[in-house]
Amino acid sequence: MRTRALVASVIVGVVLGLSHAHAHHSFAAEYDSKKPVTLTGTVTKVEWLNPHVRFYADVKDEAGTVANWEFELGSGTSLVRQGWTRTSLKPSDVIKVDGFLARDGSRLVNAVSVSTGDGKKLFAGSSFEGAPKQ
Amino acid sequence: MRAFIGCLAACVLLTASVSAQWITVKLPRTPRTADGKPNLTAPAPRTAEGKPDLSGIWRRVAPTRNDNEDGNFNLLDWMPDGAQIRMKPDAEALYLHRRNVLKGGGRPSQECLPHSIPDSMLPPVIFKVVQVPDVTIILFEEFNHFRQILTDGRALPVDPQPAWWGYSIGRWDGNTFVVTTSGFNDRSWLDDTGHPHGEGLKTTERFRRIDFGHMETQVTIDDAQMYLAPFTLTIRFDLQPDTELLENICENEKDSEHIILGK
């Protein structure tokens, strides 16, 4: 299984690596560049759509409570153009995400990088070209 | 396990290659260098009528600076260093509100409405120019929007129904395609930072295809309701060779409910 995770990680790394997208909305109006966050969880759903690809993951906090979080990536079109496919990320995948929290306090993150399997950090491509890098 | 990994890799590669067949395709009319790569410095193609042919898929060259601490694109990013946009008081108040209070929130594209002119050419999204007799069409990949520039000799309409993209006519001035547009509604933003415009906005775009792989336009904004004087920005574009547009329907907009319209 370790090998499987490694393969998945490499595949995701290849397709995620160069993603760089434009958002149809303002990053600063929705996310807080002063609130970076790192979360690890298990993917429960992937929405491979426009204007943004979104995925959802169950994340356990320090108290052991599990909550479902929403993560925003670039547009489906831009990710396809970078080599992603709708099967690049699947329910049950264990992922680690670096990103920025939503300003409204909801469980929403603008994903800057996503890593899978072996924990290798991979650039996911924020939904905003000017978003700060972690 | 090895068989499983092989199958997984093959499935991923197969899926990727199917996509690649559409977005990575060797177009037969593209001039090439000896090694088969697109020759982006070859002469600009010409139509049967002898005019430069602007057809192709384009993406703007990123500006080297950004006059907005929140990262939203600003018209000034495409103007000379030190340039100023002189606004009338009401326009400046609205601009500063959009920039500093809304932080770019509430802009029309947030709800999948058009970027309009010139804002549609400022983000790093691609668009396709289709130049045929009597009309030049611009197909924007983002949201499958389009605009058309009539070149059949007609005049701009008088007092038309205000429109997101306005009404555009084009003519040739030597090798420069001059596009004049009026009849806008006042709902679009000129850029993602929030420069406003009124219904009296008139834009003049001067497109020049420098060579096969490069194009430039100078866009003059003339809006006496909002600005003290017309001003011009220069946008450069790189051809995106050997690819094709993809469908992009704004079917899953979920950001607006999280946008905070205020500090």
Q: Which domains does chain A have, with CATH numbers?
A: 2-116 (2.40.50.140)
List the 215-244 stretch of B: residues with Cβ below 8 A of A.
243
Contact B15 A85 (CB under 8 A): yes
**Side chain identity, residue B160:** P
Give residue-wise pLDDT tens across range B67-98: 998 999 999 999 999 999 999 999 999 999 99
What is the rounded distance in angstroms from the CA atom of residue B177 to the CA atom of residue B53?
10
C-alpha triplet A73, A77, A81: angle, nearest 5°: 100
Residues in chain B: 263
Q: To the nearest whole angstrom, how far is the Cα of A63 from the nearest Cα of chain B?
A: 27
Q: If pLDDT is split at 50, 70 and 90, which confidence band does B61 have? A: very high
Beta-carbon pairs below 8 A across chains A and B: 131
CB A54 within 8 A of CB A109: no
C-alpha triplet B63, B67, B72: angle, nearest 5°: 80
**Is the pLDDT reported for residue B1 higher than 50?**
no
Contact B12 A11 (CB under 8 A): yes
**Is the pLDDT reported for residue B170 higher than 50?**
yes
Predicted local distance difference test score (pLDDT) of residue A119: 63
**DSSP designation for B256:** G
B124 reaches A (C-beta below 8 A): yes
List the 22-61 stretch of B: residues with Cβ below 8 A of A.
23
Strand, coil or helix: A84: coil
Give residue-wise pLDDT tens across range B94-149: 999 999 999 999 999 999 999 999 999 999 999 999 999 999 999 999 999 999 99
Residue with tokens 């606004």: B87
Q: To the nearest whole angstrom, how far is the Cα of A132 from the nearest Cα of chain B?
A: 9
3-state helix, strand, coil in chain B (%, to 5): 20, 30, 50
Tokens read off for B196: 């406003």
Determine phi and psi for B56, rounding to 5 degrees: 150, 175
CB B8 within 8 A of CB A7: yes
Closest CB to A51 among B8, B253, B260: B253
Handedness of CA A16, A66, B253, B258 (dihedral sign): negative
Handedness of CA A21, A23, A26, A27 (dihedral sign): negative
**Is the pLDDT reported for residue B257 higher than 70?**
yes
Give residue-wise pLDDT tens across range A3-22: 333 333 333 333 333 233 46
Closest CB to A26 among B16, B105, B112: B105
DSSP tally for chain B: helices H, then strands E? 2, 9
Contact A30 B105 (CB under 8 A): yes
**DSSP designation for A50:** B
**DSSP designation for B158:** S
Pairing of strands B167-173, B146-150: parallel
B106 reaches A (C-beta below 8 A): yes
Contact A28 B103 (CB under 8 A): yes
Determine phi and psi for B171, rounding to 5 degrees: -150, 160
Pairing of strands B127-132, B56-60: antiparallel
Domain architecture of chain B: domains with CATH: 56-241 (2.40.128.20)
3-state helix, strand, coil in chain A (%, to 5): 20, 40, 45
Residue with tokens 């970076």: A36
Q: Is B170 exposed, middle or buried (0-12, 13-18, 19+ CB in 10 A)?
A: buried
Predicted local distance difference test score (pLDDT) of residue A86: 87
**Side chain identity, residue B259:** I
Contact B72 A130 (CB under 8 A): yes
Task: Calculate mean pLDDT across residues A30-44.
Answer: 95
Closest CB to A3 among B5, B11, B102: B5
Q: Which helix (H) or strand (E) holds A9?
A: helix A2-16
Tokens read off for B49: 């009528």
Give the start-end residues of each E strand in chain B: 56-60, 127-132, 135-140, 146-150, 167-173, 176-182, 202-211, 214-222, 231-239
CB B174 within 8 A of CB B51: no
Q: Which residues contact A84 (CB under 8 A, 6 or more apart)?
A: A15, A16, A19, A53
**Is the pLDDT reported for residue B22 higher than 50?**
yes
CB B74 within 8 A of CB B191: yes
Among B258, B259, B263, pick the best mutation site for testing chain A contact (most A Cβ within 10 A).
B258
Predicted local distance difference test score (pLDDT) of residue A11: 33
Q: To the nearest whole angstrom, how far is the Cα of A40 from the nearest Cα of chain B?
A: 23
